[in-house]
Structure 1
Protein backbone atom coordinates (compact mmCIF):
# COMPACT_ATOMS: atom_id res chain seq x y z
CA UNK A 1 0.00 0.00 0.00
CA UNK A 2 1.31 3.43 -0.88
CA UNK A 3 0.84 6.55 1.28
CA UNK A 4 -2.22 7.69 -0.66
CA UNK A 5 -3.93 4.27 -0.26
CA UNK A 6 -3.06 4.20 3.45
CA UNK A 7 -4.57 7.67 3.94
CA UNK A 8 -7.72 6.64 2.09
CA UNK A 9 -7.91 3.42 4.13
CA UNK A 10 -7.60 5.45 7.36
CA UNK A 11 -10.42 7.81 6.34
CA UNK A 12 -12.63 4.82 5.47
CA UNK A 13 -11.72 3.22 8.80
CA UNK A 14 -12.59 6.41 10.70
CA UNK A 15 -15.94 6.57 8.89
CA UNK A 16 -16.74 3.17 10.46
CA UNK A 17 -16.51 0.85 7.46
CA UNK A 18 -15.70 -2.81 8.00
CA UNK A 19 -12.45 -4.38 6.95
CA UNK A 20 -14.11 -6.19 4.05
CA UNK A 21 -15.85 -3.04 2.83
CA UNK A 22 -12.59 -1.07 2.91
CA UNK A 23 -10.91 -3.88 0.96
CA UNK A 24 -13.71 -3.81 -1.63
CA UNK A 25 -13.56 -0.05 -2.07
CA UNK A 26 -9.79 -0.06 -2.41
CA UNK A 27 -9.75 -3.23 -4.53
CA UNK A 28 -7.42 -4.94 -2.07
CA UNK A 29 -7.37 -8.28 -0.33
CA UNK A 30 -8.93 -8.15 3.17
CA UNK A 31 -5.71 -9.65 4.59
CA UNK A 32 -3.85 -6.58 3.28
CA UNK A 33 -6.24 -4.32 5.18
CA UNK A 34 -5.80 -6.44 8.30
CA UNK A 35 -1.98 -6.13 8.11
CA UNK A 36 -2.22 -2.36 7.47
CA UNK A 37 -4.59 -1.86 10.43
CA UNK A 38 -2.35 -3.88 12.73
CA UNK A 39 0.73 -1.91 11.65
CA UNK A 40 -1.20 1.35 12.15
CA UNK A 41 -2.35 0.27 15.62
CA UNK A 42 -6.01 0.16 14.57
CA UNK A 43 -8.60 -2.47 15.45
CA UNK A 44 -11.88 -3.12 13.68
CA UNK A 45 -15.10 -3.33 15.70
CA UNK A 46 -16.08 -6.97 15.44
CA UNK A 47 -19.18 -6.79 17.65
CA UNK A 48 -21.51 -7.05 14.64
CA UNK A 49 -19.66 -10.13 13.41
CA UNK A 50 -19.72 -11.63 16.89
CA UNK A 51 -23.47 -11.02 17.16
CA UNK A 52 -24.03 -12.55 13.72
CA UNK A 53 -22.03 -15.65 14.66
CA UNK A 54 -24.02 -16.03 17.89
CA UNK A 55 -27.31 -15.62 16.01
CA UNK A 56 -26.24 -18.17 13.41
CA UNK A 57 -25.24 -20.62 16.15
CA UNK A 58 -28.65 -20.22 17.78
CA UNK A 59 -30.37 -20.70 14.42
CA UNK A 60 -28.42 -23.92 13.82
CA UNK A 61 -29.29 -25.23 17.28
CA UNK A 62 -32.96 -24.47 16.66
CA UNK A 63 -32.79 -26.25 13.30
CA UNK A 64 -31.26 -29.31 14.97
CA UNK A 65 -34.07 -29.36 17.51
CA UNK A 66 -36.74 -29.01 14.77
CA UNK A 67 -35.17 -31.87 12.83
CA UNK A 68 -34.92 -33.98 15.97
CA UNK A 69 -38.60 -33.40 16.67
CA UNK A 70 -39.49 -34.50 13.14
CA UNK A 71 -37.30 -37.59 13.42
CA UNK A 72 -38.86 -38.43 16.76
CA UNK A 73 -42.39 -37.96 15.45
CA UNK A 74 -41.76 -40.17 12.40
CA UNK A 75 -40.14 -42.88 14.51
CA UNK A 76 -42.94 -42.80 17.07
CA UNK A 77 -45.53 -43.08 14.30
CA UNK A 78 -43.75 -46.09 12.82
CA UNK A 79 -43.45 -47.75 16.24
CA UNK A 80 -47.13 -47.06 16.95
CA UNK A 81 -48.10 -48.72 13.65
CA UNK A 82 -45.72 -51.67 13.88
CA UNK A 83 -48.54 -54.17 14.53
CA UNK A 84 -51.16 -52.61 12.26
CA UNK A 85 -52.37 -54.25 9.08
CA UNK A 86 -49.84 -54.08 6.26
CA UNK A 87 -50.61 -53.67 2.56
CA UNK A 88 -48.42 -55.55 0.09
CA UNK A 89 -48.77 -54.94 -3.62
CA UNK A 90 -47.23 -55.74 -6.97
CA UNK A 91 -47.27 -54.28 -10.47
CA UNK A 92 -46.40 -56.45 -13.39
CA UNK A 93 -47.03 -59.52 -15.43
CA UNK A 94 -47.65 -59.60 -19.14
CA UNK A 95 -50.84 -57.55 -18.67
CA UNK A 96 -49.12 -55.08 -16.28
CA UNK A 97 -51.68 -55.72 -13.57
CA UNK A 98 -51.88 -54.37 -10.04
CA UNK A 99 -52.39 -56.88 -7.25
CA UNK A 100 -52.62 -56.19 -3.52
CA UNK A 101 -53.16 -58.09 -0.30
CA UNK A 102 -53.52 -56.88 3.27
CA UNK A 103 -51.55 -58.80 5.89
CA UNK A 104 -52.61 -58.86 9.54
CA UNK A 105 -49.31 -57.19 10.44
CA UNK A 106 -46.05 -56.20 8.81
CA UNK A 107 -43.48 -58.89 7.95
CA UNK A 108 -40.59 -59.40 10.38
CA UNK A 109 -38.16 -57.61 8.02
CA UNK A 110 -40.36 -54.49 8.02
CA UNK A 111 -40.67 -54.58 11.81
CA UNK A 112 -36.90 -54.95 12.10
CA UNK A 113 -36.46 -51.94 9.80
CA UNK A 114 -38.81 -49.88 11.98
CA UNK A 115 -36.89 -50.80 15.13
CA UNK A 116 -33.57 -49.98 13.42
CA UNK A 117 -34.94 -46.63 12.24
CA UNK A 118 -36.13 -45.85 15.76
CA UNK A 119 -32.71 -46.87 17.10
CA UNK A 120 -30.96 -44.50 14.71
CA UNK A 121 -33.35 -41.75 15.80
CA UNK A 122 -32.56 -42.52 19.42
CA UNK A 123 -28.82 -42.34 18.70
CA UNK A 124 -29.11 -39.05 16.83
CA UNK A 125 -31.30 -37.48 19.51
CA UNK A 126 -28.84 -38.58 22.18
CA UNK A 127 -26.02 -36.84 20.30
CA UNK A 128 -28.09 -33.66 19.95
CA UNK A 129 -28.82 -33.69 23.67
CA UNK A 130 -25.11 -34.12 24.40
CA UNK A 131 -24.30 -31.06 22.27
CA UNK A 132 -27.13 -28.92 23.68
CA UNK A 133 -26.87 -28.49 27.44
CA UNK A 134 -30.00 -26.32 27.52
CA UNK A 135 -33.33 -28.00 28.19
CA UNK A 136 -31.62 -31.08 29.57
CA UNK A 137 -34.54 -32.18 31.75
CA UNK A 138 -36.95 -31.98 28.80
CA UNK A 139 -34.53 -33.92 26.61
CA UNK A 140 -34.09 -36.62 29.25
CA UNK A 141 -37.88 -36.95 29.38
CA UNK A 142 -38.02 -37.38 25.62
CA UNK A 143 -35.25 -39.97 25.70
CA UNK A 144 -37.05 -41.85 28.48
CA UNK A 145 -40.19 -41.96 26.31
CA UNK A 146 -38.17 -43.27 23.37
CA UNK A 147 -36.52 -45.91 25.57
CA UNK A 148 -39.95 -47.05 26.80
CA UNK A 149 -41.12 -47.26 23.19
CA UNK A 150 -38.09 -49.39 22.27
CA UNK A 151 -38.73 -51.68 25.20
CA UNK A 152 -42.39 -52.16 24.22
CA UNK A 153 -41.48 -52.72 20.54
CA UNK A 154 -38.78 -55.24 21.47
CA UNK A 155 -41.19 -57.14 23.71
CA UNK A 156 -43.79 -57.30 20.92
CA UNK A 157 -41.11 -58.33 18.41
CA UNK A 158 -39.83 -61.10 20.70
CA UNK A 159 -43.30 -62.43 21.36
CA UNK A 160 -44.11 -62.58 17.63
CA UNK A 161 -40.82 -64.00 16.38
CA UNK A 162 -40.83 -67.81 16.44
CA UNK A 163 -37.97 -69.27 18.42
CA UNK A 164 -35.47 -71.45 16.61
CA UNK A 165 -35.59 -75.19 17.33
CA UNK A 166 -32.79 -76.48 19.54
Structure 2
Protein backbone atom coordinates (compact mmCIF):
# COMPACT_ATOMS: atom_id res chain seq x y z
CA UNK A 1 0.00 0.00 0.00
CA UNK A 2 1.28 3.48 -0.83
CA UNK A 3 2.38 5.69 2.00
CA UNK A 4 0.58 9.00 2.41
CA UNK A 5 3.27 11.66 2.71
CA UNK A 6 4.01 15.07 1.22
CA UNK A 7 6.19 15.13 -1.86
CA UNK A 8 9.55 16.80 -1.22
CA UNK A 9 12.52 18.12 -3.19
CA UNK A 10 14.51 15.15 -1.85
CA UNK A 11 11.97 12.79 -3.44
CA UNK A 12 12.28 14.72 -6.72
CA UNK A 13 16.05 14.23 -6.57
CA UNK A 14 15.62 10.52 -5.84
CA UNK A 15 13.12 10.26 -8.69
CA UNK A 16 15.53 11.96 -11.11
CA UNK A 17 18.36 9.64 -10.05
CA UNK A 18 16.28 6.47 -10.39
CA UNK A 19 14.93 7.60 -13.78
CA UNK A 20 18.46 8.42 -14.99
CA UNK A 21 19.55 4.92 -13.96
CA UNK A 22 16.94 3.42 -16.31
CA UNK A 23 14.54 2.21 -13.64
CA UNK A 24 10.92 1.58 -14.59
CA UNK A 25 7.93 3.44 -13.17
CA UNK A 26 6.98 0.29 -11.26
CA UNK A 27 10.46 -0.05 -9.72
CA UNK A 28 10.61 3.62 -8.80
CA UNK A 29 7.16 3.52 -7.20
CA UNK A 30 8.14 0.45 -5.15
CA UNK A 31 11.39 2.01 -3.97
CA UNK A 32 9.86 5.35 -3.03
CA UNK A 33 6.79 3.69 -1.56
CA UNK A 34 4.08 5.32 -3.61
CA UNK A 35 1.84 4.48 -6.57
CA UNK A 36 2.78 4.28 -10.23
CA UNK A 37 0.29 7.05 -11.01
CA UNK A 38 2.04 9.37 -8.53
CA UNK A 39 5.38 8.64 -10.17
CA UNK A 40 3.88 9.21 -13.65
CA UNK A 41 2.48 12.55 -12.51
CA UNK A 42 5.80 13.67 -10.99
CA UNK A 43 7.72 12.58 -14.08
CA UNK A 44 5.41 14.64 -16.30
CA UNK A 45 5.64 17.59 -13.88
CA UNK A 46 9.45 17.44 -13.98
CA UNK A 47 9.52 16.92 -17.77
CA UNK A 48 11.28 13.57 -17.47
CA UNK A 49 10.73 10.97 -20.17
CA UNK A 50 11.89 7.47 -19.28
CA UNK A 51 13.95 5.45 -21.73
CA UNK A 52 11.46 2.87 -23.01
CA UNK A 53 13.82 1.12 -25.44
CA UNK A 54 14.26 -1.94 -23.20
CA UNK A 55 10.49 -2.27 -22.81
CA UNK A 56 9.97 -1.85 -26.55
CA UNK A 57 12.61 -4.49 -27.30
CA UNK A 58 11.01 -6.89 -24.81
CA UNK A 59 7.60 -6.26 -26.36
CA UNK A 60 8.97 -6.98 -29.84
CA UNK A 61 10.59 -10.19 -28.56
CA UNK A 62 7.35 -11.30 -26.89
CA UNK A 63 5.40 -10.52 -30.07
CA UNK A 64 7.85 -12.56 -32.15
CA UNK A 65 7.69 -15.45 -29.66
CA UNK A 66 3.88 -15.39 -29.70
CA UNK A 67 3.83 -15.40 -33.51
CA UNK A 68 6.19 -18.40 -33.52
CA UNK A 69 3.96 -20.24 -31.03
CA UNK A 70 0.88 -19.48 -33.14
CA UNK A 71 2.67 -20.85 -36.22
CA UNK A 72 3.53 -24.09 -34.40
CA UNK A 73 -0.08 -24.38 -33.23
CA UNK A 74 -1.34 -23.61 -36.76
CA UNK A 75 0.75 -26.48 -38.16
CA UNK A 76 -0.25 -28.84 -35.33
CA UNK A 77 -3.93 -28.11 -36.00
CA UNK A 78 -3.44 -28.93 -39.68
CA UNK A 79 -1.76 -32.20 -38.69
CA UNK A 80 -4.69 -32.94 -36.37
CA UNK A 81 -7.15 -32.24 -39.17
CA UNK A 82 -5.34 -34.65 -41.49
CA UNK A 83 -5.24 -37.39 -38.83
CA UNK A 84 -8.91 -36.90 -38.03
CA UNK A 85 -9.97 -36.99 -41.67
CA UNK A 86 -8.00 -40.17 -42.26
CA UNK A 87 -10.04 -41.89 -39.52
CA UNK A 88 -13.15 -41.55 -41.69
CA UNK A 89 -11.85 -44.24 -44.06
CA UNK A 90 -10.10 -46.58 -41.64
CA UNK A 91 -11.60 -49.66 -39.98
CA UNK A 92 -13.46 -48.84 -36.77
CA UNK A 93 -14.37 -50.91 -33.75
CA UNK A 94 -17.95 -50.45 -32.61
CA UNK A 95 -19.09 -51.87 -29.32
CA UNK A 96 -22.03 -52.28 -27.03
CA UNK A 97 -21.75 -52.67 -23.29
CA UNK A 98 -24.61 -53.28 -20.95
CA UNK A 99 -27.93 -55.00 -20.93
CA UNK A 100 -29.33 -56.95 -18.02
CA UNK A 101 -26.39 -59.38 -18.11
CA UNK A 102 -23.77 -56.59 -18.41
CA UNK A 103 -22.36 -58.05 -21.61
CA UNK A 104 -19.77 -56.58 -23.94
CA UNK A 105 -19.92 -57.00 -27.71
CA UNK A 106 -17.69 -55.51 -30.37
CA UNK A 107 -17.38 -55.57 -34.16
CA UNK A 108 -14.90 -54.16 -36.60
CA UNK A 109 -16.42 -52.24 -39.52
CA UNK A 110 -14.70 -51.22 -42.77
CA UNK A 111 -15.20 -47.59 -41.78
CA UNK A 112 -16.94 -45.74 -38.92
CA UNK A 113 -20.74 -45.49 -38.94
CA UNK A 114 -22.19 -42.42 -40.65
CA UNK A 115 -22.88 -40.57 -37.35
CA UNK A 116 -19.27 -41.07 -36.30
CA UNK A 117 -18.03 -39.97 -39.73
CA UNK A 118 -20.09 -36.81 -39.33
CA UNK A 119 -18.50 -36.12 -35.94
CA UNK A 120 -15.04 -36.77 -37.38
CA UNK A 121 -15.77 -34.34 -40.22
CA UNK A 122 -16.99 -31.71 -37.76
CA UNK A 123 -13.85 -32.08 -35.64
CA UNK A 124 -11.73 -31.89 -38.81
CA UNK A 125 -13.52 -28.71 -39.86
CA UNK A 126 -13.02 -27.14 -36.44
CA UNK A 127 -9.28 -27.92 -36.52
CA UNK A 128 -8.98 -26.42 -40.01
CA UNK A 129 -11.05 -23.37 -39.04
CA UNK A 130 -8.91 -22.65 -35.98
CA UNK A 131 -5.77 -23.11 -38.03
CA UNK A 132 -7.01 -20.64 -40.64
CA UNK A 133 -7.93 -18.11 -37.93
CA UNK A 134 -4.38 -18.23 -36.58
CA UNK A 135 -3.03 -17.80 -40.09
CA UNK A 136 -5.41 -14.90 -40.78
CA UNK A 137 -4.39 -13.21 -37.53
CA UNK A 138 -0.72 -13.28 -38.48
CA UNK A 139 -1.44 -12.23 -42.07
CA UNK A 140 -3.02 -8.96 -41.00
CA UNK A 141 -6.30 -10.16 -39.61
CA UNK A 142 -9.38 -8.11 -40.26
CA UNK A 143 -7.62 -5.66 -42.58
CA UNK A 144 -6.98 -8.46 -45.06
CA UNK A 145 -10.62 -9.57 -44.85
CA UNK A 146 -11.90 -6.02 -45.32
CA UNK A 147 -9.66 -5.57 -48.35
CA UNK A 148 -10.89 -8.83 -49.87
CA UNK A 149 -14.53 -7.89 -49.25
CA UNK A 150 -14.01 -4.46 -50.81
CA UNK A 151 -12.39 -6.01 -53.89
CA UNK A 152 -15.23 -8.51 -54.20
CA UNK A 153 -17.87 -5.80 -53.84
CA UNK A 154 -16.12 -3.61 -56.41
CA UNK A 155 -15.88 -6.55 -58.84
CA UNK A 156 -19.63 -7.16 -58.43
CA UNK A 157 -20.33 -3.47 -58.98
CA UNK A 158 -21.85 -3.12 -55.50
CA UNK A 159 -19.21 -0.80 -54.10
CA UNK A 160 -16.85 1.78 -55.54
CA UNK A 161 -13.75 1.49 -53.37
CA UNK A 162 -12.44 4.94 -54.35
CA UNK A 163 -14.35 6.53 -51.47
CA UNK A 164 -12.46 4.45 -48.87
CA UNK A 165 -9.01 5.56 -49.94
CA UNK A 166 -7.25 8.17 -47.73
Q: With the length of structure 1 as denominator, give the TM-score of the two structures.
A: 0.72
Whole-angstrom distance in 1 between the partners of 2:29 and 2:102: 66
CA shift for structure 1 position 44: 0.6
Match of 1:65 among 66, 71, 89: 71
Which whole-Å deviations, capped at 9, do the CAs of 1:67-89 have from their partners, x for residues lacking one? Answer: 12121111101212211111112
Q: Aligned residue for 1:157? A: none
CA shift for structure 1 position 60: 1.5
Q: Aligned residue for 1:51? A: 57
Which stretches in structure 1 are left out of the alignment for 5+ residues? 135-166
Whole-angstrom distance in 1 between the partners of 2:22 and 2:135: 41
Length, aligned pairs only: 134
Secondary structure at the counterpart of residue 87 of structure 1 = strand
Q: Aligned residue for 2:40? A: 34
CA shift for structure 1 position 16: 2.5
CA contact (8 A) 1:75 1:114 kept: no
Whole-angstrom distance in 2 between the partners of 1:117 and 1:34: 50
CA contact (8 A) 1:72 1:121 kept: yes
CA contact (8 A) 1:86 1:104 kept: yes
